[in-house]
Amino acid sequence: MASGRTVGAVEEHWTVGRVAELAGVSVRTLHHYDEIGLVRPSAQTAAGYRAYAAGDVERLREVLAYRRRGFGPREIAELVDDPSADAVAHLHRLRGLLLERRDRADAMVTAIDRELRTRARGLKVTPEEQLEVLGAQLYDVIGDAYRATRRTDPRIAAQIWDALGDARTVLNVGAGTGPYEPADRQVTAVEPSAVMRGQRPPGSAPCVDAAAESLPFADGSFDVAMAISTVHHWGDPIGGLREMRRVDRRVVVLTFDTDEPGWQERFWLTRDYLPEFTGVLAKFPSLTGMTDAIGARAEPVLVPWDCADGLFEAYWRRPGAYLEERVRRAMSVWTRVGPEAEERAVRSLGDDLASGRRAERNGDLAGLDAADLGLRLLKA
């Protein structure tokens, strides 16, 4: 056969030339990978020439995918030789890397749009703003604002920590700066964003650079895994939840419910000013899908009117806070909806606060101490 592929009783294999053609690389590149031990043909043609077996092709696919993401040969070797990662794990990892690249591009577009608007007004662009165009993933753009507004709310923390039960070892996935990490347990954090890792306070739990979809731990390594307001940023939420279940006996996750009919109407900010929020969660898995994936049950997490943690829903009874740039910058929603939607929402909200229209439409909230805005705690 021209492809060098043999079928029947003999294992399928492909010649060096055919593999180079299919992969879009040169034969010299394949010879180089062979020489350094990265991908070595393990089969042989009927004529006695070395050839690639199916497993070799699969390994080459992984090598080339990591190479095109900028990894060096030594890093690639460590990744593809990882004994805990099979083909599915590599695909999840690669998918996460590609989605991270997409988020990086989205964040850069947002930064460029912001600079263009600034320049159009004849205003000076600071060096910090210029360098923001080079920003990395989404959390690398919003992460710098976390120290100002994202803190532990004791009421939400009490509900999370109660769900941890008697666990002594805790894995915090998508840990960020670690606001809800319990001080009385042995915690290991996982966080892929360098900016977020850099903002973890001195003396906090050790933090591993890894993604939820490919946790670098053996099965059952921890008593419980927790993930707080992070699942919606994962490339593969269901895969990440299953990974948490793999490495831990129990799982505790704070996430968002999009199953309830009319969920888009729960929060006045998204209902009246930011309908684009629905699109942000368009591909987010259902609450049922998440609970089924890890065998969990869900319970509501009420947001106190004076919530100390500046998450997106925190200021439901303090609407003026959403007019503050520093508050919005710590919320990923605003980056995801884009600058035009953000400007329109902020302008409309400001007008309605000044005229009293917003208070008229939401007078029933004034007497509430806490509100159910869709946050759910999954316990498995």
CATH numeric code, 13-80:
1.10.1660.10
CATH level 2 (architecture), domain 143-379: 3-Layer(aba) Sandwich (3.40)
Dihedral sign, CA of 157, 163, 165, 167?
negative
In this model, does residue 135 exceed pLDDT 50?
no
Rank 80-89, 273-282, 365-374 by mean pLDDT and report only the highest.
365-374
Pairing of strands 370-371, 303-304: antiparallel
The pLDDT, as a whole number, for residue 317 is: 95
Query: pLDDT tier at 2 (50, 70, 90 boundaries)?
Result: very low
Name the residue ranges covered by the structural domains of the chain: 13-80, 87-137, 143-379
The pLDDT, as a whole number, for residue 109 is: 77
Distance of CA 126 to the CA centre of its chain: 29
Q: What is the DSSP string of 139-185?
A: HHHHGGGHHHH----HHHHHHHHHHTTT-SEEEEET-TT-TT--TTS
Q: What is the DSSP string of 232-292?
A: GGSSSHHHHHHHHHHHEEEEEEEEE---STTGGGSSHHHHHT-TTHHHHTTTSPPHHHHHH
pTM: 0.64
Helix (H, G, I), strand (E, B) or coil at 51: strand
Q: Please provide residue 195's backbone torsions phi and psi, each rounded to the nearest 5 degrees.
A: -65, -45
How far apart are the C-alpha atoms of 221 and 217, rounded to whole Å?
6
CA distances from residue 211 to 78, 90, 93, 130 in whole angstroms, order as listed = 16, 12, 8, 29
Residue 30 · residue 63 · CB < 8 Å: no
CA distances from residue 79 to 33, 65, 119, 230, 239 in whole angstroms, order as listed = 15, 11, 44, 25, 19
Tokens representing 274? Answer: 């930011």
As a whole number, the mean pLDDT across the chain is 84
Intra-chain end-to-end CA distance of the chain, in Å: 54
The pLDDT, as a whole number, for residue 101 is: 66
Residue 242 · residue 360 · CB < 8 Å: no
Tokens representing 238? Answer: 């269901």
Query: pLDDT tier at 268 (50, 70, 90 boundaries)?
Result: very high
**Residues 204-238: pLDDT tens digits?**
899 998 889 989 999 999 999 999 999 988 888 99
Residue 109 · residue 141 · CB < 8 Å: no
